Amino acid sequence: MTVRAFFEAASVESDQSPYDVIHLKIFYPAKMSGNHLEKAEGIVPVNPEQAPFPVVIFFNGVNCDAQLYQWLAVKLAERGLVVVLFNWIAQNIPGVTSLTPGVDIAKWQPKTYGTAPTASALPTLLAKLEALQQQGILAGMLDLQRIILGGHSAGGRVAIENAHPNFFPQVIASFAYGAHTAGAVMSGYEPGTILALPDSLPMLLMGGTCDGVITNSSDRYGITAGDATTPVIRTFREAIAGGRNDSYLLLLEGANHFSMVDNFDSTTARPFLDFPPTQSPENIRLLMANIIGLFIDTYVRQKSEASHELQQLLNTTNPLIHSWERK
């Protein structure tokens, strides 16, 4: 399937200039037509075969450019999804300017966590999608009652903790890589605290056995240092009760913290904390994309054959799959 993308910008009403603009890149299934607009401006029509399209909103890791996740956006758009990547340069922490997934730090504090959304970018992104549904190339093509939140690292945490029907009723599933919900000791949490998740929607939580960023950040949370997977495993086992068999934990053998990005950028974020991957990064990404796609096809698009394929993939001996759980 042909995949195309276009750019948009959206103003964040709650922020002041110059930190009040989010830049979006929106990927969609396309179909070459040869019409004048296509030739003159490069605007390729939508392929309507699987419309209306569920929408994936992907939250980047801190100081990780959205372009690093284009590989995943393309793979998911090839499956018949619309995918939103975005860059927002802002100061979530006063005085510290960064590429941010959009986090309301105040809502991570012990007295406020769980009472309000932590995703400060999400209301703006949802409003932009509403506008795109009314006018432009995607008009009438979006299923805005089937929105999936995904993310990497801090963006992954934003995705899974804001997949909450009371906050955003149009969100119906979430996925994350290299994320957990351990509470920071400096925020006032007791060492080793794992914060609860909404636990009401399908969730896919993934981690890597060579995640050096999680390993080398353990002291922030009072968690035993030297373990790449403990915070991720504890998040799955303690932050949700499960019971619906639609929540998954997948640990990827040999994957590190930045296995989810392509065209790795060593000049930003914290790659110096990471461990080298011990498996092919390309093979890890291909497996990730396949599992994420099958998860969405199973629990968002209700495709019975996808459910069977997902279970078969997870149960087949694969050197890239360290372990998995479901509850």
For 175-210, give the secondary structure using H, E and C.
Answer: EEECCCCECCHHHCCCCCCECCCCCCCCEEEEEECC
3-state SS assignment for residue 123: helix
Contacts of 175 (CB under 8 A, 6+ apart): 148, 149, 150, 151, 156, 159, 160, 203, 204, 205, 206, 292, 295, 296
Q: What is the pLDDT of residue 226?
A: 67
State the CB neighbour count (10 A cutoff) for residue 251.
21
Domain 2-326 belongs to what topology? Rossmann fold (3.40.50)
For 143-169, how does the pLDDT look when each residue is reduced to its tens digit (9 = 90+)? 999 999 999 999 999 999 999 999 999
Tokens of 240: 């949700």
Q: What is the pLDDT of residue 36?
A: 66
d(CA 12, CA 94) in angstroms, rounded, equals 17
pLDDT category of residue 285 using cuts at 50, 70 and 90: very high
Instruction: Find the DSSP H helices in 196-258.
Output: 212-215, 230-238
Entry pTM: 0.96
With beta carbons less than 8 A apart as the criterion, state whether 177 and 288 touch: yes
Does the pLDDT value for residue 28 go beyond 80?
A: yes
Average pLDDT over residues 90-98: 87
pLDDT category of residue 13 using cuts at 50, 70 and 90: confident
d(CA 273, CA 276) in angstroms, rounded, equals 10
Amino acid at site 198: P
For 177-204, how does the pLDDT look when each residue is reduced to its tens digit (9 = 90+)? 999 999 999 999 999 999 999 999 999 9
Rounded to whole angstroms, the maximal C-alpha distance in the chain is 62
State the CB neighbour count (10 A cutoff) for residue 16.
8
Rounded to the nearest angstrom, the gap between the alpha carbon of residue 56 and the centroid of all alpha carbons in its chain is 8
Q: Give the alpha-carbon dihedral of 227, 229, 316, 305, to 10 degrees.
A: -170
Tokens of 229: 């997977």
3-state SS assignment for residue 78: helix
Average pLDDT over residues 122-126: 98
pLDDT category of residue 239 using cuts at 50, 70 and 90: very high
Work out the end-to-end distance of the chain between its first and last CA atoms, rounded to an integer number of angstroms: 34
Q: What is the pLDDT of residue 41?
A: 64
d(CA 228, CA 207) in angstroms, rounded, equals 8
User: What are the residue ranges spanned by the domains of the chain?
Assistant: 2-326
Does the pLDDT value for residue 218 go beyond 80?
A: yes
